Amino acid sequence: MLITSLENERVKKYNKLKERKYREKQQEFLVEGMHLVLEAYKKGQIIELILEKDEVLPLDLPTVYVTNEIIHRITSLETPTNIMALCKFPEEKPLGNRILILDGIQDPGNLGTIIRSAAAFHIDTIVLGENTVDLYNPKTIRSTQGMLFHVNVIKRELSSFLDELKEQNIPIYGTRVEYGEDVRSLHTNDKNKFALIMGNEGAGVSPEILEKCDKYLYIKMDDAVESLNVSIATSIILYELDRRD
């Protein structure tokens, strides 16, 4: 199928997927660029490929060809690529034993980078609190480098979710300098089953959430430095929680 008109209903739909509300209603989103398209393909998440009309991509998928003008209409990039795909939201999977909870991360780049690190360090499920930036924000998707298809990401109201975890005896870790434990000193036993909570870039984890933690962790660093970027701090703790020695 070749579409040439900006007024085509499919084009209008692709363009509308820039809005979070519409993505959530449709349970669909767009990815752009070869790398993301291939990661989505490997996980069976593609509904249809969207290619500029002279582009060739030998994947056995329904394909919609469009003009360069249409690509420019529907892209979220300054310099668009010729390869896009319409994807369905991944289905929720079981929680697993290694859980990362994000309470109020606001920067799409931080969220994407954290998802990439979580995939690298064997997190089973990432739980986004209600005040966290949208997973399907195009900037978030790009920053994940396709890793959003490799980790189970779900949304929850955090306060009641933490109560559920407590019933399941999953230890909850927060971060705090006072009364904290150096993340380097964690035992192997502490690393097999946990829910780590990381908070907002400026404010950290909400006080009412922090109260529910069983253990507090910190990263040892120079006294002159107040804190690390949240995606860095999260990644270092996940790296330690993945360490076996």
Cα–Cα dist 232/114, whole Å: 8
Cα–Cα dist 174/239, whole Å: 16
Please count the residues of the chain.
245
Q: Which stretch binds a second copy (CB under 8 A): 62-70, 167-175, 205-213, 218-226?
A: 218-226
User: Encoding tokens for residue 230?
Assistant: 């949240």
Cα–Cα dist 44/182, whole Å: 41
Q: Is 41 in the site for a second copy (CB under 8 A)?
A: no
Q: Is 228 in the site for a second copy (CB under 8 A)?
A: yes
The sign of the CA dihedral 153, 159, 160, 163 is positive
x/- mask, a second copy, residues 128-147, rule CB under 8 A, reads: ---------------x-x-x
User: Which CB atom, from 48 or from 201, has the smaller least distance to a second copy?
Assistant: 201
Q: Is 121 in the site for a second copy (CB under 8 A)?
A: yes
Q: Is 229 in the site for a second copy (CB under 8 A)?
A: yes
Q: Is 239 in the site for a second copy (CB under 8 A)?
A: yes
Q: Is 38 in the site for a second copy (CB under 8 A)?
A: no
Q: Which stretch binds a second copy (CB under 8 A): 54-62, 77-85, 108-116, 153-161?
A: 108-116
Checking phi first, is residue 111 left (phi over 0); if not, alpha (psi -120 to 50) or beta? alpha
Cα–Cα dist 195/164, whole Å: 12
User: Encoding tokens for residue 11?
Assistant: 């084009």
User: Which CB atom, from 58 or from 202, has the smaller least distance to a second copy?
Assistant: 202
Q: Tell me how far, at minimum, the Cβ of 219 lies from a second copy, in Å.
A: 7
Residue 14 has, within 13 A of its CA and on its CB side, a CA count of: 28
Residue 135, SS3?
coil
Q: Is 154 in the site for a second copy (CB under 8 A)?
A: no
CB 86 within 8 A of CB 28: yes
Cα–Cα dist 158/126, whole Å: 12
Q: Tell me how far, at minimum, the Cβ of 242 lies from a second copy, in Å.
A: 8
The residue within the footprint of a second copy, chosen from 57, 154, 170, 232 (CB under 8 A), is 232
Q: Tell me how far, at minimum, the Cβ of 108 lies from a second copy, in Å.
A: 11
- List residues binding a second copy (CB under 8 A): 109, 113, 116-117, 119-122, 143, 145, 147, 150, 184, 219-222, 224-229, 231-232, 235-236, 239, 242-243, 245
